[in-house]
Amino acid sequence: MAAQNDEDLALSRRAAAGDSAAFAALVKRYERPLRAFLVRMGAVEIADDIAQDAFLKAWRAAGQYDGSARYSTWLTSIAWRCRLDELRRRPQPAPQADLRENPNAAEVSDMLARLSENERASLVLCDGHGWTHQEAAELLGLPLGTLKSTVARAKAKCREMWSGTGDD
């Protein structure tokens, strides 16, 4: 993990110096998890627009990445702010299933659609993307304890829906 961080830091520094090939390597490495996260948070078309916007901002701010956090965490925090800006401009579409990439997508998207914004984001990041609670708490601007209870609540709601004992 530390080696990956060092490599990302080196690539980011090269990008800050104007090396677009180094930045392309970062885009190749992180477009998959970033877009997957954004797809889980909203419509597929908007997710790609936000991801592109986030990468462009990451390119402009490449010199600000200091390696203290994982590159994916830093990048996702940029994308999260882009998403919040986008939501202020456009009404939020319901999360959609991307059946090409995951056969369970429809069922899970249906579950996620019933969660609040923070519940959805914290569950996807912590249970799906392997983020620590601390990382997710920083991204969402929540106290650590609140984040932990948000994840637990989201998971309990999903479990209830999955076992078929939900309201509908």
Partner 1 sequence: MTDEFDDFLAQALAPPERDADRAFVARVQSQIRLDEHLRAERRRMLSMLAIQVLGIAAIAAAVFWLLRSPEIAEFAADSPAILLTMLLAAFSFAVLLFSTGPSPGRSRASFSIA
Q: How far apart are CA 30 and CA 37, in angstroms?
A: 11
The mark string for 82-111 relative to partner 1 (x by CB under 8 A, - otherwise) is -------------------xx-xx-xx---
| Least distance to partner 1, CB of residue 31, Å | 5
Q: Which of 4, 10, 17, 32 binds partner 1 (CB under 8 A)?
A: 32
- What is the DSSP code string of 100-154? TT-TTHHHHHHHHHTS-HHHHHHHIIIIIS---HHHHHHHHT--HHHHHHHHHHH
The residue to which tokens 């659609």 are assigned: 113
Of 5, 52, 77, 132, the one binding partner 1 (CB under 8 A) is: 52
Q: At what angle do helices 2-16 and 20-41 cross, to 10 degrees?
A: 120
Give residues in contact with partner 1 (CB under 8 A).
Answer: 20, 23-24, 27-29, 31-33, 35-37, 40, 48, 51-52, 55-56, 59-60, 101-102, 104-105, 107-108, 123-124, 127-129, 155, 158-159, 162-163
